[in-house]
Homo-oligomer: A and B are copies of this chain.
Amino acid sequence: MTAPSQPISRADCLAADARDPLAALRQQFHLPAGTLYLDGNSLGALPRNASARVQQVIEREWGDHLIQSWNKAGWMTHPQRVADKIGRLIGAAPGEAIVADTTSLNLYKVLSVAMTLARADSPRATRIVSERDNFPTDLYIAESLARQHGFELVLVDTADIVHHINDQLAVLLLTHVNYRSGRMHAMGALTEAAHAAGGLVVWDLAHSAGAVPVDLNACNADFAVGCGYKYLNGGPGAPAFLWLHARHAARMDAEQLWQPLSGWLGHAAPFEFSSDYRPATGVSRFICGTPPIIALAALECGVDTVLAAEPHGGMAALRAKSLALTDLFIALVEQRCTGHGLDLQTPREHVLRGSQVSLHRHEGAYAIVQALIARGVVGDFRDPGILRFGFTPLYVGHADVWDAVEHLVQVLDTREWQQARFNQRAAVT
Contacts and interface: CB of A to CB of B under 8 A. Distances in A.
Interface residues of A, number: 91
Interface string A329-362: 0000000000000000000000000000000000
A83 interface: no
Given A262-B141, A290-B237, A373-B68, A136 B275 contact: yes
Interface string A229-251: 10000011111100000000000
A42 to B, nearest CB: 5
Contacts of A267: 136, 140
A298 B139 CA distance: 32
A75 B236 contact: yes
Contact of A292 (B51, B64, B261, B292): B292
Interface stretch (A193-201, A213-221, A421-429): A421-429
B67 A277 contact: no
B143 A105 contact: no
Contacts of A382: 273
Interface in A286-301: 288-296, 298
A140 B71 contact: no
B30 A46 contact: no
Contacts of A45: 63, 66
Contacts of A426: 71
Nearest to A56: B51
B235 A293 contact: yes
Interface in A243-272: 258, 260-265, 267, 270-272
Contact of A32 (B63, B75, B140, B271): B63
Given A238-B292, A277-B139, A291-B237, A104 B263 contact: yes
Contacts of A97: none
**How many copies of this protein are present in the complex?**
2
Nearest to A260: B144
B66 A378 contact: yes
A15 B103 CA distance: 54
A160 interface: no
A427 to B, nearest CB: 6
B273 A383 contact: yes
Nearest to A46: B63
B143 A289 contact: no
A270 B60 CA distance: 38
A101 B291 CA distance: 10
Nearest to A379: B67
Nearest to A134: B275
A133 B274 CA distance: 9
Nearest to A29: B63
A62 B235 contact: yes
Contacts of A103: 289
A294 B258 CA distance: 31
Contacts of A270: 136
A263 B148 contact: no
Given A59-B30, A140-B262, A294 B237 contact: yes
| Top 9 A-B pairs, shortest CB-CB distance | A102-B289, A104-B263, A137-B264, A236-B293, A46-B63, A140-B277, A104-B289, A237-B292, A144-B262
17 contacts: A46-B62, A58-B235, A67-B380, A76-B427, A104-B289, A108-B260, A134-B275, A136-B264, A136-B274, A137-B263, A137-B264, A139-B276, A140-B264, A237-B290, A237-B292, A237-B295, A271-B429
